[in-house]
Amino acid sequence: MAANNNTPGPKRRGLGGNLFAFRDDPLAFLEDAASYGEISHIRIGNLHAYLLNDPDLIHQVLVAHPEHYHKSRILKRTTNAIIGSGLLTSEGEFHKRQRRMIQPAFHHQRLAGYTEIMARRTADLLDGWHDGQTFDASKQMTKLTLQIVSEALFGADVSGQAEEIGAAISMGVETVGSQIRNPTRQFLPPWLPVLFHPERREAAAFIRRTVMGMIDARKQDGNLEDRSDLLSMLLLAMDDETSATMTMEQVYDEAITLFIAGHETTAIALSWTLYLLATHPKIEAKLLDEIERVLGDRTPTLADLPHMKMVEYTIKESMRLYPPAWVMSRINVEDVNLGGYTIPKGSGVLMSQWVTHRDPRWFDDPLVFNPERWAADASGLELEKRILRYAYFPFGGGPRICIGQPFAMMEMQVVLPMILQRYGFSLVGDQEVVPEPLITLRQRHGLRTQIHARQRESIDMSYVGISQPVIAS
């Protein structure tokens, strides 16, 4: 079936259609496309896509009928060299099986055991900072989340390699992001981009060696009992429904997917949160009042998190304004009807957190940083219960919702209070902090900050882990 040209959308120019507008400024282009209504038609070269600008339509794709939609072939093709066929890109029964086998690693009972690692790694990082120091806060957050995910999920210490690993992953993200912003590159042979950019091939190889090294070290140990981390679960996993186990290639694909995704998005969310707090001192003061009241000089535990609502609201509001995942794409595998329009089989279906999270239909003063908007109203319902379900979806939704969402939220709710207990942040110079939409929403030039020590110089960690045993799922 031909593309439905009756669907409204931005003017398409020549053979490229909307290619150059999308490539040059994806965020502004998506905002413009959304102005045409709940669904708008765009064309990038000969690729037809439809942007959904309504939570009910997004719900149809992610939750009501996910079987009609697969992951974008562009995403699969551009990420295959790095992450293979892990949860991010796999489909159908294989994806369901892999998810069933991995899910226990993120059960609530196991999360309690991860908080000690998060707190200890954060304290180690903060111990290396000093009053008046300047640095790129985004790189510091990447370093921290790399160390946390490596130990919590793989039982490994990558402290000595954190910067090198971070740089390699950054290059991989930039490579994938550049191809997503220019989808016509999918028609190039896979070897062509790396032929002219051998450093990208070397970065991918380094990431693979790092993760395979963690796997090989565990195998050579010869003791594969459950160590309460993800890697042991992958090596021991058996699907209860099929009695299937994972091949080593499947273990690698899932391990590297979670290794990259498990730190990249969390580091970005923390970086944007620090930026927003550095530019909104009154909100930071309210946050500090809550941290002092709940924690004093203690390290947060899992039991403390429900009592730090302002911390939770601040993180949610940061991810509303600057969602680490700024757009999601699917390919419909059959003709579908969305918003009264027939979308032909093989079309792209786009859902943008950047656009939806900033829509005044769902959020008052949507461009204002206001964590307290998430608080309960007179009826006792918090904002997330009052708005349409997919007006806010930083972790996606439906059967493919980010499997690490509980881990990521808990990590940010542990890390952010610990940082603020000891340091405040101010931006250096007159830098312009702008979003860079790659595969995730990074800060284009980083986040150059100066830190200011608070009166409290240390955090009491003497009890950490004592009352938080790891309970096997």
The answer on pLDDT for 262 being more than 90 is: no
Helix (H, G, I), strand (E, B) or coil at 107: coil
Q: What are phi and psi of 119, to 5 degrees?
A: -65, -45
pLDDT (0 to 100) of residue 180: 63
Q: What pairing do the DSSP bridges indicate for beta strands 441-443 and 435-437?
A: antiparallel
pLDDT tens-digit readout, 228-255? 777 887 877 755 666 667 888 888 888 8
The single-letter DSSP state of residue 12 is: P
Is the pLDDT assigned to residue 184 strictly greater than 70? no
Average pLDDT over residues 307-333: 96
Residue ranges covered by each domain of the chain: 1-71+327-369
Whether pLDDT at 221 is above 80: no
Please check the confidence at residue 195 and state whether its pLDDT lies above 70. no
- Give the pLDDT band (50/70/90) at residue 127: very high
45 contact partners, CB below 8 Å, separation of at least 6: 15, 16, 17, 19, 183, 184
Amino acid identity of residue 238, one-letter, is: M
% the chain with pLDDT above 90: 56
Provide the pLDDT for residue 240: 61
For residue 135, is pLDDT > 70? yes
| 95 against 385, higher pLDDT | 385
pLDDT tens digits, one per residue of 270-314: 999 999 999 999 999 999 999 999 999 999 999 999 999 999 999
Q: What is the pLDDT of residues 138-183, one digit of tens each?
A: 999 999 998 998 888 888 777 777 677 777 777 777 666 666 666 5
* The pLDDT of residue 443: 96
Residue 463 has pLDDT above 60, yes or no: no
Question: What digits encode the pLDDT tens for the residues 30-55?
Answer: 999 999 999 999 998 888 999 999 99
Q: Which two tokens stand for residue 216?
A: 């090989």
For residue 75, what pLDDT band results from cuts at 50, 70 and 90?
low
Q: What is the pLDDT of residue 179?
A: 64
The amino acid sitting at 339 is G
Please tell me the predicted confidence (pLDDT) of residue 2: 46
Residue 242: phi and psi, rounded to 5, are -120, -10
| Residues of the chain above pLDDT 70, percent | 83
Is 60 exceeded by the pLDDT of residue 187?
A: no
CATH topology of domain 1-71+327-369: 3.30.43
Q: End-to-end CA distance of the chain, in Å?
A: 49
How many Cα neighbours within 13 Å face the side chain of 402? 21
Tokens for 455? 């009166």
